[in-house]
Structure 1
Amino acid sequence: MKIDGRFWLSKNDKSFLGSGRIELLRHIEKTGSIHAAAKEMKMSYKAAWERINSMNELADEPIIERKIGGKGGGGTTLTPYAYELINTYDRLNELHRQFIERFAQAGENPERLAKILNRTFLTTSARNQIPSVIKEIKEVGINSLITMSIAGGGKITSSITSKSVKNMALGVSDDVYAIIKSSDIEISATPPAKNESLNILEGTIQNIKLSSQSVEVSLKVNELTSLILVVKESQIPSLKAGDKAYATIHPSNIIIGS
């Protein structure tokens, strides 16, 4: 058994946007023609036009522009509003996919699903809240090292007091959040020297945002997990979107949320 779900946007209690309609818009963008888009999707022109007309009736602005005649012949193009709809749908659909992925971690275990639901709505000011599963708990003096597998693959280790482990009733196989402040992550363009006392995660730069005082970097670690870190401009190496980079996190800077 697998947990799955479809994502639709409705308006005025009517279906507005779904994967099929977004695909149709993309084909219109590609071909410049409703007829050609319908052909690529193996559907009739009538069915394609009915979908476009239904979206137009619900939309706040027109989603297509039709050109008749002219030097290059007629055709159909998407309006700027249509591109906004596509981008909005893509962002929401990605969040929906991540939501379903978290549910899927429960398998056929309702109790585990309940725990995942509870931690889904965890509220914290930290920018990074990574769904994780505890793999090992090792006491080292008054502290405990908690090794976790993170969503999408990979592992990290947190260091918290053994008293906290007991108070939170943490155990192996528990679903938790690894919570990390964006200012507690260091970044480098080259692999740091191996150090068992540090977490080193390899990833790809998604984007870099500059401000007057700092730099915000999004590092994609895997398909399900990205890290947000904030550093001073003088602390960031020469990196750009698409580059490989390495995040370094001290175990004591990873908080456990459950």
Structure 2
Amino acid sequence: MFELKGMLSLHAGNRQVAGQDRIELLAAIGESGSISAAARAVGMSYKGAWDAVDAMNNLADEPLVVRAAGGHRGGGTTLTPRGQRLVEAFRVVAAEHARYVARLGALDEASSRDLQLMRRFALRTSARNQLAGTVVALEPGEVNDLVGLRLPGGQTLQVTITRASTEELALTVGAEAIALIKAPAVTLVPADDDAVDGNRLDGFVVAIHRDAADAEVRLELDGGGVLIAVVPQERIDALQLAEGRPARAVIDASSVLLGTTG
């Protein structure tokens, strides 16, 4: 069954200050006066809690949390009046946001999918290639994880990201994600070249735009989607690339970034 969910966050300029998890941490600090107790209450590590507090303090217009060191009780951690007001304001806004999401949840499935598509369009990035897909495989490693992202046309993109990134993005099999790839990271080879390591995405050249040194090649992927590559002029001639001819794009798994709209 289709389910619509919403997330509420606070920003300072273009940077996120806090979301629900960080506000819960602030509230727990206010209730306990202890960063370690607050971290346990919200399921964070002690270090993770302090990292979150430092980030919020750095991004806010004035400190939200202060450390009280010394004294016969050994000090503690306290919310400032600004931090207390932030928690109260967030709770008021969160209640209204929940009512808003409930109203959106009454939309039919087609309209809800349109909303999801609008969120993808809102993503702004310097990467020329933005490919939406579904996670179909997730192989954990000690430091890095290997994520398999199936593109709409059926081809699969292998992506290497850190374990911390996997957790931050809440990636699981079946989750939706967006692959971000810079055009110079895309290497073009002959359509039958199996010797080059990396992701191999097949398609047909649909346009070539040349300048003095480089050329931008637009490759329509088999099954749908367009991939843009920036290559030296001499590669165009060496590969005999032309509109309508097949070509293969090779992309290293570590050259792909993943993002989510959740």
3-state SS of 2:153 partner: coil
Alpha-carbon distance in 1 for matches of 2:128, 2:211: 17
Alpha-carbon distance in 2 for matches of 1:114, 1:135: 23
Alpha-carbon distance in 2 for matches of 1:131, 1:137: 17
1:202 alignment partner in structure 2: 202
Alpha-carbon distance in 2 for matches of 1:141, 1:233: 41
Alpha-carbon distance in 2 for matches of 1:113, 1:186: 34
The structure-2 alpha-carbon separation of the partners of 1:112 and 1:137, relative to structure 1 and needing over 3 Å to count, comes to: farther
Q: What is the CA-CA distance between 1:161 and the residue it aligns to?
A: 0.4
2:152 maps to 1:151: yes
1:12 alignment partner in structure 2: none
The structure-2 alpha-carbon separation of the partners of 1:144 and 1:109, relative to structure 1 and needing over 3 Å to count, comes to: farther
Alignment of structure 1 residues 73-152 onto 2, 5 Å: 108=109, 115-152=116-153
2:218 alignment partner in structure 1: 218
Q: What is the CA-CA distance between 1:110 and the residue it aligns to?
A: 7.6
User: For structure 1, which runs of at least 5 residues remain unmatched after alignment?
Assistant: 2-106
Alpha-carbon distance in 2 for matches of 1:177, 1:252: 15
2:168 alignment partner in structure 1: 167
TM-score, normalisation: structure 1: 0.54
Q: What is the CA-CA distance between 1:153 and the residue it aligns to?
A: 2.2
Aligned letter for 1:219? L
- Is the Cα contact below 8 Å between 2:202 and 2:222 reproduced in 1? no
The structure-2 alpha-carbon separation of the partners of 1:110 and 1:168, relative to structure 1 and needing over 3 Å to count, comes to: farther
- What is the number of residues matched between the two proteins? 152
The structure-2 alpha-carbon separation of the partners of 1:143 and 1:113, relative to structure 1 and needing over 3 Å to count, comes to: farther
- Is the Cα contact below 8 Å between 2:215 and 2:233 reproduced in 1? yes
The structure-2 alpha-carbon separation of the partners of 1:175 and 1:110, relative to structure 1 and needing over 3 Å to count, comes to: farther
- Is the Cα contact below 8 Å between 1:149 and 1:155 reproduced in 2? yes
Q: What is the CA-CA distance between 1:238 and the residue it aligns to?
A: 1.2
Task: Render the CA deviation track for 1:51-73: whole Å, top value 9, x for unaligned.
Answer: xxxxxxxxxxxxxxxxxxxxxxx
The structure-2 alpha-carbon separation of the partners of 1:219 and 1:179, relative to structure 1 and needing over 3 Å to count, comes to: same
Q: What is the CA-CA distance between 1:115 and the residue it aligns to?
A: 4.5
Alpha-carbon distance in 2 for matches of 1:135, 1:112: 20
1:255 alignment partner in structure 2: 257
Superposition RMSD in Å: 2.4
2:233 alignment partner in structure 1: 233
Q: What is the CA-CA distance between 1:226 and the residue it aligns to?
A: 0.8
Alpha-carbon distance in 2 for matches of 1:174, 1:115: 13
3-state SS of 2:240 partner: coil
2:211 maps to 1:242: no
3-state SS of 1:166 partner: helix
Aligned letter for 1:171? T
3-state SS of 1:165 partner: helix
3-state SS of 1:176 partner: strand
- Is the Cα contact below 8 Å between 1:116 and 1:175 reproduced in 2? no
Q: What is the CA-CA distance between 1:112 and the residue it aligns to?
A: 6.7
Q: What is the CA-CA distance between 1:147 and the residue it aligns to?
A: 0.3
Alpha-carbon distance in 1 for matches of 2:172, 2:110: 17
User: For structure 2, which runs of at least 5 residues remain unmatched after alignment?
Assistant: 3-107
Alignment of structure 1 residues 29-44 onto 2, 5 Å: none
Q: What is the CA-CA distance between 1:150 and the residue it aligns to?
A: 0.6
The structure-2 alpha-carbon separation of the partners of 1:194 and 1:188, relative to structure 1 and needing over 3 Å to count, comes to: closer
Q: What is the CA-CA distance between 1:194 and the residue it aligns to?
A: 5.4
Task: Render the CA deviation track for 1:155-207: whole Å, top value 9, x for unaligned.
Answer: 11110101101111111111111111000010012422256x61001110101
Q: What is the CA-CA distance between 1:223 and the residue it aligns to?
A: 4.9
Q: What is the CA-CA distance between 1:257 and the residue it aligns to?
A: 1.2
2:55 alignment partner in structure 1: none
Task: Render the CA deviation track for 1:5-49: whole Å, top value 9, x for unaligned.
Answer: xxxxxxxxxxxxxxxxxxxxxxxxxxxxxxxxxxxxxxxxxxxxx
Alpha-carbon distance in 1 for matches of 2:200, 2:164: 26
